[in-house]
Amino acid sequence: MKLHPGEFDGHIMMAPGENYVPMHAYRFNRGAIDNLIHDLWTFWRAGGELRRPDMNLQAKVDFSGLIDPAFLDVEVERIEPRRYPN
């Protein structure tokens, strides 16, 4: 595996005296990930506000420091039309 700067957030630990890093494989449901991306994109484009009128509660959420909105734009374009509507 080849990592480039900015591609991996975190750290890799190698045991003393070892020349390998134990890795794990994870599987994700592509449709579920696509739905999450689409929902985040919709939330972002709608102004990023959570509202509960019955409780007179309103909160503005800005996750631009976590996910680049341009990434969401590209991914939504890739997955359209939505595979699994709610």
Q: What is the mean pLDDT of residues 17-29?
A: 72
Spatial contact of 27 and 65, defined as CB atoms under 8 Å apart: no
Per-residue pLDDT, averaged over 34-54, amounts to: 85
Question: What is the pLDDT at residue 12?
Answer: 63
Q: Which range of residues forms the domain containing residue 51?
A: 30-79
> Is 43 part of any domain?
yes
pLDDT band for position 4 (cuts 50, 70, 90): low
Is 21 a domain residue? no
Residue 57's pLDDT band (cuts 50, 70, 90): confident
User: Rounded mean pLDDT of 37-63?
Assistant: 85
Question: What single DSSP character describes residue 57?
Answer: E
Asked whether residue 8 is assigned to any structural domain, the reply reads no
Would residue 61 count as lying in a domain? yes
- Note whether residue 45 is domain-resident: yes
Name the more confident of 23 and 34. 34
Per the domain annotation, does 46 fall within a domain?
Answer: yes
Would residue 74 count as lying in a domain?
yes
The total number of structural domains that make up the chain: 1
What one-character-per-residue DSSP string does 58-81 give? EEE---TTTS-HHHHHHHHHHHPS
15: tokens are: 């045991």
Say if 2 falls within a structural domain: no
Provide the CB-side half-sphere exposure for 71 (13 A, CA): 9
